[in-house]
C-alpha cells in the first residue's frame, strides 16, 4: 500500500510539517521508487515552498500540496510551454503524477552554480555581463506564446487592480517610511495610466533573482547557465519582470541598470519608464522595499518616491 500524504487547511501548518523532512522523505522516496528512479543518494532542499528532493545528480522531485496546486499548474505549464523556445537551459519534465491529491513533477537537474552563491563576489564587469544576459533571457521568455498559461489566474487587470487597492495598507504594515508613503497616492494615480491593463500579455516569471538561476564559468567569464522555479508565473505587462534584478542585483549602479535594460530591449530610460517601474515595484506580489532594495543607505539618500526611482534607476 502506498504511503499517504496528509491534508492541510492552511500554509502555516504545512510549513511546520514540511520543516521536518523525516516526516515526508519516505513518501517522496516511495514516489520516486514507483517510477523506477534511483533513490540511493537523495538530497533534501531545505529552502523553497514545496517538497523538493534531489535524486542523484540528474533529477529533482517536486511535490506540491493541494493548497499550492496553482504553483503546480504554473510550473508544469511553464516548463511545457518554454521547452525549446528559450536559449537558456530549463528543467525538462521526466515524469508526473498525483499522490493523495498532491501533484508532483520529476524534472531534470540543471548543471551550474546557484546564482546567490556567486553573485556577491563577481567583478563589476561580470555583474554587468550577467545582467545583460538576464535582460535578454526575460525578453526571450516573453516572446514565447502563452499556450495554456493564458488561463492562469488572476488575469493581469484583475491582479493589478487588487494590488493597487491593497498597496497602501501593505506598505504601511511593512513599515515603509512615512516620507515614501506620503507619495503613494500620487504614484498610484500615475500607475493607472502608466501600466497597460489590456495590452497583449506575456509570460511573467516574477522572480528573476539569484536564488532562481544558475551560473557557470568558462575562461574566467561567468554566464547564465540555467533558469528554474516557475511556480509563481503569471501573464501580463512585460516590465514587471525587470523588478527582481533591479532590486536585488542592479543596486542603483548606472552601468548595471543600463546592461539590464539594454539586454531587455529598453533603449531609453526616461521619467515615464522610471515612474512605471517604481509603481510596479510597489505593486509586485512580493513587494517589501525595506527588505528588497539592495542599495546601501537608500532610506536616507532619497526623500520621496521620485528621488527613490532616480536612485534605483539612475540615468
Q: Where are the domains of the chain?
A: 11-108, 113-312
Nine cell digits for residue 98: 498525483
Helix (H) or strand (E) holding 68: none
Q: Do 62 and 32 meet the contact criterion of CB atoms below 8 Å apart? A: no
Beta-strand relationship, 213-218 and 102-108: unpaired
How high is the pLDDT of residue 2?
62
Nine cell digits for residue 198: 489590456
Of 247, 203, 210, 248, which Cα lies nearest the Cα of 226? 210
173 alpha carbon, distance to own chain's centre: 23
* b/e code 147-163 from CB counts within 10 Å (16+ = b): eebeebeebbeebbeeb
pLDDT, mean of each 10-residue run, the chain (315 residues): 81 92 94 95 89 95 96 96 94 96 97 95 97 97 96 95 96 97 95 93 94 95 95 96 96 97 96 96 96 96 97 94
How high is the pLDDT of residue 219?
93
Q: What is the spatial distance between Cα 187 and Cα 209, in angstroms, rounded to a whole number?
A: 25
pTM for the whole structure = 0.93
- CATH annotation of 113-312: 3.90.1200.10
How high is the pLDDT of residue 109?
96
Q: Do 50 and 62 meet the contact criterion of CB atoms below 8 Å apart? A: yes
- State the architecture of 11-108 in CATH terms: 2-Layer Sandwich (3.30)
**H-assigned helices in the chain:** 11-18, 25-34, 69-82, 115-118, 124-143, 156-173, 178-181, 184-194, 243-245, 254-264, 271-283, 289-292, 298-301, 305-312
How high is the pLDDT of residue 48?
79
Q: Do 140 and 88 meet the contact criterion of CB atoms below 8 Å apart? A: yes
Q: Do 39 and 91 meet the contact criterion of CB atoms below 8 Å apart? A: no
How high is the pLDDT of residue 46?
82
Amino acid at each position: 500500500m502506498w504511503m499517504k500524504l496528509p491534508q492541510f487547511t492552511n500554509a502555516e501548518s504545512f510549513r511546520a510539517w514540511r520543516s521536518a523532512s523525516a516526516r515526508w522523505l519516505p513518501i517522496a522516496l516511495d514516489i520516486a521508487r514507483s517510477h523506477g528512479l534511483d533513490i540511493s543518494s537523495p538530497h533534501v532542499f531545505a529552502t523553497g515552498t514545496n517538497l523538493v528532493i534531489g535524486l542523484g545528480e540528474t533529477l529533482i522531485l517536486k511535490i506540491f500540496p493541494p493548497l499550492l496546486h496553482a504553483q503546480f499548474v504554473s510550473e508544469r505549464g511553464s516548463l511545457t510551454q518554454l521547452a525549446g523556445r528559450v536559449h537558456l537551459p530549463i528543467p525538462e519534465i521526466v515524469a508526473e503524477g498525483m499522490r493523495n491529491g498532491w501533484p508532483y513533477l520529476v524534472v531534470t537537474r540543471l548543471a551550474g552554480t546557484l546564482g546567490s552563491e556567486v553573485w556577491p563576489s563577481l567583478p563589476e564587469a561580470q555583474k554587468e555581463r550577467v545582467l545583460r544576459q538576464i535582460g535578454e533571457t526575460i525578453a526571450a521568455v516573453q516572446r514565447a506564446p502563452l499556450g495554456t498559461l493564458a488561463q492562469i489566474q488572476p488575469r493581469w487587470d484583475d491582479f493589478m487592480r487588487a494590488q493597487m487597492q491593497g498597496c497602501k495598507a501593505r506598505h504601511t504594515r511593512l513599515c515603509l517610511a512615512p516620507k515614501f508613503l506620503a507619495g503613494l497616492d500620487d504614484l498610484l494615480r500615475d500607475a493607472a495610466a502608466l501600466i497597460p491593463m489590456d495590452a497583449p500579455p506575456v509570460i511573467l516569471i516574477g522572480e528573476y533573482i539569484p536564488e532562481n538561476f544558475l551560473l557557470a564559468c568558462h575562461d574566467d567569464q561567468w554566464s547564465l547557465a540555467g533558469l528554474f522555479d516557475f511556480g509563481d508565473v503569471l501573464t501580463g505587462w512585460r516590465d514587471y519582470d525587470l523588478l527582481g534584478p533591479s532590486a536585488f542585483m542592479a543596486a542603483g549602479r548606472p552601468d548595471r541598470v543600463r546592461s539590464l535594460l539594454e539586454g531587455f530591449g529598453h533603449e531609453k530610460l526616461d521619467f515615464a519608464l522610471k515612474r512605471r517601474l517604481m509603481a510596479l515595484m510597489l505593486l509586485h506580489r512580493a513587494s517589501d522595499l525595506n527588505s528588497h532594495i539592495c542599495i546601501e543607505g537608500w532610506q536616507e539618500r532619497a526623500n520621496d518616491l521620485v528621488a527613490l526611482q532616480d536612485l534605483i534607476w539612475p540615468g
